[in-house]
Structure formats: structure tokens, C-alpha cells
Amino acid sequence: MGGLSPCPFCDGRGLVTFERAPEVEPCTECRGSGRLYTDAEYRGVFDALLREKGIFADRDLRLLLLGLSALERRLSELEAKLRP
Ligand SMILES: [Zn+2]
């Protein structure tokens, strides 16, 4: 299972600033999310975000994450069945 941590390249802001135009751009290291995830395939990221947000997650965001987490579980089950 992967883990979330603040992106050290943009200090978790998701943006990098420049003195000249463009003055601000999404951070390329974290792709603008402000966080790095240890699993390259992002497996388990929905559950990790649910854990991180806890009860403070917006209700709609929480529902979205729960749905995505369930989808990921079903996909894992399918992958396990397809494996020789
Ligand atoms: Zn970043």
C-alpha cells in the first residue's frame, strides 16, 4: 500500500512560481496535486486520501473517493482472476 506525503518540490502547494511569465504553473513533480504518492500506479490512493482527510473531507469528495475505492477493489478482484 502506498503512502502520501507533501511534495518537497513545491512545498505541498501544487504550484511553482517564477519571476518571469508564466508567473505560476502546476508543479511537474506532483502534477499540481501538492503531494507525492509512493506507488507509481497510484494503487490505494483513494483509501490513502480518505484516511488523510478523515472526517474533514467534503461529503461529495468523500462519496467520490468511496466510489473510486470500491471500483479499485473490483478491478483488483478481476486482475486476480485473470492472472494465470
Ligand atoms: Zn509539487
Taking 50 as the pLDDT cut, the residues of the chain under it are: none
Q: Report the separation in Å between the CA atom of 77 and the middle of ligand 1, taken as the mean of its atom positions.
A: 32
**What pTM, to 2 d.p., does this model score?**
0.79
pLDDT, position 78: 96
pLDDT, position 57: 84
Q: Report the separation in Å between the CA atom of 68 and the middle of ligand 1, taken as the mean of its atom positions.
A: 23
3-class SS at 62?
helix
Q: Report the separation in Å between the CA atom of 38 and the middle of ligand 1, taken as the mean of its atom positions.
A: 14
pLDDT, position 72: 97
Q: Report the separation in Å between the CA atom of 26 and the middle of ligand 1, taken as the mean of its atom positions.
A: 8
Tell me which residue of 62, 9, 1 sits closest to 32, measured CA to CA: 9
pLDDT, position 19: 87
The enclosing H or E element of 24 equals strand 24-26
